[in-house]
Amino acid sequence: MKRVHFKKLDAFATRNSNGNPAGCVFLKDQNDLSGPEMLQVAKELKGFVSEVGYITKFNDEEYNFKYYSSERELDFCGHVTIATMYDIAQSETGSARKNYIINTNRGKLKVENRIDAENAVFIMSPEPVYKDNFPNRTIIAEKLKINENEMDSHPISIINAGLNTLIVPIRNLDGILNIAPELEELNNFCVSSGIDIIEVFCTEVYDSSNKYRTRVFAPTFGYIEDPATGSGNSAFGYYLIKNGMWKDGTIYIEQNGEKERYNLVQLQQQHDDKNNIRVWFGGGAITRIEGEYLIN
């Protein structure tokens, strides 16, 4: 039997929302668990957390990440990364350290500790990949169980900022809140289309201090909806930049299907070392459970 340090952390939670539950397993060595064992733990935690991250400390400022859903390994998972790095910045090395590096399947990413000033950490999203082919509006509407006229005139896109994200514009807030797709049908559609998640958005929001409302459907991960996402909203950030819908400054994204009790994701823009614009996503986390996880 193996014993590992485990935490359940709720990322992007606010005073009025529950955030997105992340399982975080802290390993002493990246070979402490095999791939099948990591998948086993994620399967055991299905319904309790959305995804599980496996974190190994490389040195005081650098960490290695692996991510698993109950179905498979993921290249990147934003809410697990936010939850973990917020926890590390707050408790392991203290808030004095301002910068970290994380190693993922999508490369090295920078992390900024802004807990003292903003009660958040910000993470540079993976470099975006824009896809040329995507399903037509009629098929998308059919799979989302909506009428095609409930979409607005903004373009549909697939952008990968960690996950292949189909971005779909919806006319209004009620339209977004009423979307209720069927898990198996949507999963089959996503798999056949090479899509990891579907993010729907509208410009109408509940709180006027926020910029957009989003919902994210993730059937390929074994559940219908992801209540707060870093990678999905990062893809959405690149979509906004590409379509001239976000010039600069911080924007706040309301996310989930609850009108008033939404989770909150922050997006910012920064230039990377190659002078390319990169989306940074930010938020905090709340610790719910901490202890040992036993693996047979």
* Mean per-residue pLDDT of the chain: 95
Tell me how far CA of residue 112 lies from CA of 16, 121, 294, in angstroms: 25, 6, 32
Q: For residue 159, how many other CB atoms are within 10 A of its CB?
A: 23
State pLDDT tens for residues 200-241.
Answer: 999 999 999 999 999 999 999 999 999 999 999 999 999 999
Q: pLDDT value at position 100?
A: 96
CATH superfamily placement of domain 129-278 = Diaminopimelate Epimerase; Chain A, domain 1 (3.10.310.10)
> What average pLDDT does this structure show over 14-25?
92
Q: Report the C-alpha gap between 143 and 140 in whole angstroms.
A: 5
Name the segment(s) of the chain with CATH classification 3.10.310.10.
Answer: 2-127+283-295, 129-278
Q: Report the C-alpha gap between 20 and 77 in whole angstroms.
A: 11
Query: Residue 46, by phi and psi: left (phi above 0), alpha (psi -120 to 50) or beta?
Result: beta
Q: How many CA atoms lie within 13 A of 187 on its CB side?
A: 11
State pLDDT tens for residues 239-266.
Answer: 999 999 999 899 999 999 999 999 999 9
Share of the chain above pLDDT 70, in %: 99
State pLDDT tens for residues 137-178.
Answer: 999 999 999 999 999 999 999 999 999 999 999 999 999 999
Q: Band the pLDDT of 94: cuts 50, 70, 90.
A: low
Q: pLDDT value at position 95?
A: 56
CATH assignment of 2-127+283-295? 3.10.310.10
Q: Of the given ranges (85-89, 115-119, 191-195, 277-281), which has the lowest mean pLDDT?
A: 115-119
The contacts found for 217-221 with CB under 8 angstroms, 24 or more apart, are: 217/144, 217/181, 217/186, 218/50, 219/181, 219/183, 219/184, 219/186, 219/187, 219/190, 220/71, 220/187, 220/190, 220/191, 220/195, 220/196, 221/50, 221/51, 221/69, 221/70, 221/71, 221/74, 221/196, 221/197
